[in-house]
Structure 1
Amino acid sequence: MTDIWVARNSKIAINDYAYDDVIEDIHAYLGHTPQIELSYEAKIKTLWLTLAPEPRPVFTLELLSSINKVQRAINFLWGPEKYAKSPVRFLAYMHKQHGSVFTLGGDLEFYLECIAKNDRAGLEDYARQSIEGVSWNASSLRGAAITLAAVRGVALGGGIDAPRSSNVMIAERQATFSYPEIKFNHFPIGAVAVLSRVLHPRVAHEVLSGGKEYSAEEFAGIGALDAVVGEGESEAWLRKYATDNLKTHAAQLALFEAFYKRSAGPFEEELADLAKRWVDHMIRLTPIEISYLQKIVKAQDHFLSRAFQANATPNAQTSA
């Protein structure tokens, strides 16, 4: 906690909160938060968190850490005991476009680096931060704010866990969803627990074991999405959701909390168990299985290259 934040917090304790200071206060408390962008919309008391992973659209350790910092900061600065004066009622996740891709999932290059060095601690840190982000989202930031998320492109594997663990998850019509890990003798860290909260376990198992690609409409059809909207309409949908639910926010938040607490203990235990199982699995990978992961990285790069080219071609024709 920085001296700057302590000084600002003393001012806030005395005076009503100045909404223009929200981002400044968060950054003063957090320090460096790479690979995310924050903005604040006072009218609907919404903090927008834009995922901006670099250089590839995967959930890097830096991205996970930055997300976790923001989640904790909102709870610490404006948690349940400070609800009446909290300037943040909603935390809304968006993402920067990488061509037509939202996320390719976990950071395979980081996994491979840890495996090569037999760095179990590095894998454990990654798994811990993954499940902590999921837990904070699902618990409405421990009762501090309703969490919202939108997906606007291709979403693969464990990268789906972060938005799906939010209280409300929507997708634009062009988005697709799939968990291809099983084809490479792999599995996403928290997906079993995350999907089983919104789907029947048998359906969740089918989704994770089948490797099928689902359209947004199909994903919504099995109960994995709260809404499907038109291309380019997700931000407006989230904004309308916040606007419509602002007056009843306290009751809506209490409902999300109540449903979460019905299974909070088993859910947290399941996440911890999954994280341990995932690390054990990664450490035990055979040379052949490691080569599969290396091939996936190359395939991802090829996929990204094609996605960027497809996205850039219409622009080039227009400018001509």
Structure 2
Amino acid sequence: MPVIDTIHDATIRAHATADTPHLATEKAIRALRATGYDNLRLDVDSANAIGWCFMKPVGKPSYTHELMDDISRMQSEITRSFAELPRSAAAPFSWFVMASDVPGIYNLGGDLGHFAERIRTRDLDAMRHYGHVAVKAIHRNAVAFDTPVVTMALVQGDALGGGFEHALSFDLIVAERSAKLGLPEILFNMFPGMGAYSFLSRRMDRDKAEALILSGRIHTAEELHAMGVVDILAEDGQGRQAVIDYVARHNRKHNAHHAMYRARRRVNPITLEELIDVVDIWAEAALNLTEADLRKMDRLCTAQNRRLAALDAPMHLLTAAE
């Protein structure tokens, strides 16, 4: 073979080798973008190294089985995409943000209609199953999908009950100033059993966490920021830009941020076993509810349905549950 051809082939091989990590990253990004979900919208902002996931539930913006299934598939796809990258390839993104496509609502929480039906039929196994599916997804959030990313919840609107618990499972909570977050379960004689106690008791002292849970109050993001629960307070309508600005300020120190959150998880671990045990306590307590308690749950469910029918109308949770 002529020398010039040998040099040409070597150059091609060198370029191919050099491009392989980049091509692998691009392939992973394309695969993530192409994955279809009925209740989620996933995109990758390569310029800012952010993976964006927006909840867009079919029907009520609560944690239905269908939404939870899509969240679980999305989490598994992210874990798989990162695991299959060659070591030399860059990650598809360094920061992950969970937000909502529903105007004024992050998520309204557990599927109350499903709960009421299962409680009335004394179906403890169904209650446990729902809770176990939910906390397995929450735990995967809490360990950042076993990937080298920093995770955030972007709350624009209401994050109630399980919606608040879901937001708490990320490394950081970014919330717009007037967003509403709270745990109204006490209004129908229950407690939030899918992560609230575990996460809040690690963000504030136990007494304050229990007082927040037992009050049933709905707080503004501004109030929760003052309590240390919300990490980043954004002006109304500026939540997405606040995330981008935060990432721009800290992207060069992503390694330090990621390592610190790993250390946090090691020092104050929230295990899947803990979350499942609390779910089982929650499910058993649910079967103790009286018909009067269940009627309050029904009224709250009706209020959620009205909110869905008119997303720009205020949702009077406390009034509806009295």
Q: TM-score, normalised to structure 1's length?
A: 0.83
5+ residue gaps, structure 2, are: 1-16, 316-322
How many residues of Structure 1 are paired with residues of Structure 2 in the alignment? 296
Listed as ranges, the gaps of 5+ residues in structure 1 are: 1-11, 312-320
Query: Which of 92, 116, 141 is the matching residue for 1:87?
Result: 92
Is the aligned partner of 1:102 residue 2:106?
yes
Match of 2:252 in 1: 247
Could you say if the C-alpha distance between residues 24 and 62 of structure 1 is closer, same or farther in structure 2, counting changes exceeding 3 Å? farther
Show the counterpart of 1:167: 171
Instruction: Judge conservation of contact 1:139–1:256 (CA < 8 Å) in 2.
Output: no
Deviation at 1:77, TM superposition (A): 2.1
| RMSD of Structure 2 on Structure 1 (CA) | 2.7
Q: How far 1:202 moved relative to its partner?
A: 1.1
Residue 136 (structure 1) aligns with: 140
User: 1:120 and 2:124 equivalent?
Assistant: yes
Aligned to 1:237: 242
Residue type matched to 1:120 in 2?
Answer: L
1:26 partnered with 2:36: no
Q: 1:173-193: per-residue Cα shift (whole Å, max 9, x none)?
A: 121222111121112122101
2:294 is matched with 290
Displacement of 1:231: 1.3
Residue 81 (structure 1) shift: 8.4
Between the aligned partners of 1:23 and 1:273, the Cα distance in structure 2 is 36
1:23-42 per-position Cα deviation (integer Å, ceiling 9, x unaligned): 542377xx653210011111
Query: Which SS does the other structure have where 2:42 is aligned?
Result: strand
Q: Aligned letter for 1:163?
A: A
CA contact under 8 A between 2:32 and 2:43: conserved in structure 1?
A: no
The 3 A distance-change label for structure 1 pair 304 and 45 is same
Amino acid at match of 2:262: E
Q: Could you say which residue in structure 1 is the equivalent of 2:213?
A: 208
Secondary structure class of the residue paired with 1:44: coil
Q: CA deviation at 1:80?
A: 10
Q: In the alignment, what sits opposite 1:276?
A: 280
Q: What amino acid is the match of 1:240? A: D
Q: Which structure has the larger Rg?
A: 2
- The structure with the largest helix share of the pair is 1
Task: Choose which of 29, 37, 41 in structure 2 pairs with 1:37.
Answer: 41
Distance, in Å, in 2 between the alignment partners of 1:149 and 1:302 is 26
Change (3 A) 1:310 1:162: closer
Query: Bigger shift: 115-124 or 181-190?
Result: 115-124
Equivalence for 1:68: 72
What is the TM-score when the length of structure 2 is the normalising length?
Answer: 0.82
Contact residue 143 and residue 253 of structure 1 kept, 8 A: no
Q: Deviations over 1:247-283 (max 9, x none)?
A: 222222111111101122x543321211111122223
- Does the CA-based 8 Å contact 1:143-1:257 persist in structure 2? no
- Identity among equivalent positions (%) equals 25
In the alignment, structure 1 residue 49 sits paired with structure 2 residue 53: yes
- What SS class does the counterpart of residue 252 from structure 2 fall into? coil
User: Distance in 1 between the 2:59 and 2:87 partners?
Assistant: 37
Shift of 1:304: 4.2
Deviation (angstroms), 1:167:
0.6
